[in-house]
Homo-oligomer: A and B are copies of this chain.
Amino acid sequence: MSFRGIMTYYRTIRLADTDAAGVVYFAAALSICHEAYEASLEQSYINMRTFFSDPNVAIPIVYGEIKFFAPLYSGDQLEINLFPKQLTDSEFEIKYELVKVAPNAEKVALAQTRHVCIHPNPRRRSPLPDLMVQWLDHCATPEAVDI
């Protein structure tokens, strides 16, 4: 299914992601989820540089969470699956499934972020730009995924 090709992000755990406890620092895993979101936007031809510095539109994260089932170590290869979903005309959420690829596929974490479109100055809610709505439409999964 072409969906997988578009919405899956591959990432190897790097030393900078880990801490002295020997495993991935918990907040770094959320950062990896955000990378997956950025990679997905790029595949829809959204320019990251202008997107994140537009003076008229900002889409800050208002909520983030992550749940771990297993530790992650330097060198671990991850597959991150994204499940974005528009909630209102100004808001969407993304669910993330983090799967360790080897030695056996193992779901190691689930995460979620919620994003609200605003006009930054003064800060007030604003409809999502067309490109984001197109991206959300493009990513819509045919059925609910229970993560």
By a beta-carbon cutoff of 8 Å, the part of chain A in contact with chain B is 12-16, 18-23, 25-28, 30-31, 34-35, 38-39, 42, 47-49, 51-53, 58, 60-68, 71, 73-76, 113, 123
- Whole-angstrom distance between the Cβ of A42 and the nearest chain B Cβ: 7
Q: Closest residue of chain B to A112, judged by CB?
A: B65
User: What number of copies of this chain does the assembly contain?
Assistant: 4
A-B contact pairs, 18 of them (CB 8 A): A16-B27, A20-B20, A20-B22, A21-B52, A22-B53, A26-B113, A27-B27, A27-B31, A27-B34, A30-B30, A30-B64, A42-B75, A47-B75, A48-B75, A60-B71, A65-B65, A65-B66, A71-B123
Which residues on the B side are within 8 Å of A31 (C-beta)? 16, 25, 27
